[in-house]
Amino acid sequence: MNWELQLQKLVQTETEIDARNVWKTCTDYIPFNYRFEHTRSVVNTARYLQRHEGGNLRVIIAAAWLHDIAKRFDMKDEPGPHHGILSATRASEILRTLDFTSKEMEWVHEAIEHHVGLFADNVKRSLEADIIWDADKLTKVGAVSIGHAFSIAPAFGRVTTEGMIQRGVNWLQVIGKTVSAFKTETARKIGRDRMAFLTGFYDRLKSEYEMEDDYASGD
């Protein structure tokens, strides 16, 4: 089994434990494993960014798979190091068993430790770390972000159309600042396109749901 497949299986196994806690189920059926789906999307996005921006592919893919390996849904209420630091430490332990060099583990550690946050900062990152930061945030903008948000929402309570619209509008106010903070030119271009789509989607959802007079008349 190659190292990437081993990482994928490890992430899937560990995120399923968290997903069962979120959905409060002890069966094999998990309605939606958000953490795994998010991670897989980050991997796909990071691979795309690497093709356009460069960087060490092995480091980037390993960091993408492991960037949230120590993250859990309830961590925001816990004191102590943030999940980037915890995940970076855990990643080093995992990669040591997969014949990664000390330099590769150092790069992966840096990329994971510094991927946390939604807004611009003064952290000096390597290209590999920039790509992980961008890939992680790009999954929170656009069609994928809508699919993920709508799929996980029922795990946290009753879902209504009005509630989805309001959460979407609130999220747009946050994520716009993130798009302006992307590190790579490729991510900035994709981010602007996805931001326009996301804005249009929630405008359209609101119009269709409310069916105001001007919309219904075609004006």
pLDDT tens-digit readout, 35-89: 999 999 999 999 999 999 999 999 999 999 999 999 987 766 455 568 899 999 9
pLDDT of residue 213: 63
Confidence of residue 189 (pLDDT cuts 50, 70, 90): very high
> Which pLDDT value is given to residue 110?
97
The confidence score (pLDDT) of residue 9 equals 97
Tell me what pLDDT residue 120 has: 83
pLDDT of residue 214 exceeding 70, the answer is: no
What does the mean pLDDT of the chain come to? 92
pLDDT band at 1 (very low <50, low <70, confident <90, very high): low
In terms of pLDDT, which residue wins out, 214 or 138?
138
Q: Which residue has the tokens 């081993």?
A: 6
Distance CA(198)–CA(146), nearest Å, equals 8
Q: What are the tens digits of pLDDT across the range 119-128? A: 888 888 999 9
| Sign of the CA dihedral running 27, 28, 32, 33 | positive
**Domains of the chain by start residue, with CATH:** 3-216 (1.10.3210.10)
CB 131, CB 46: distance < 8 Å: yes
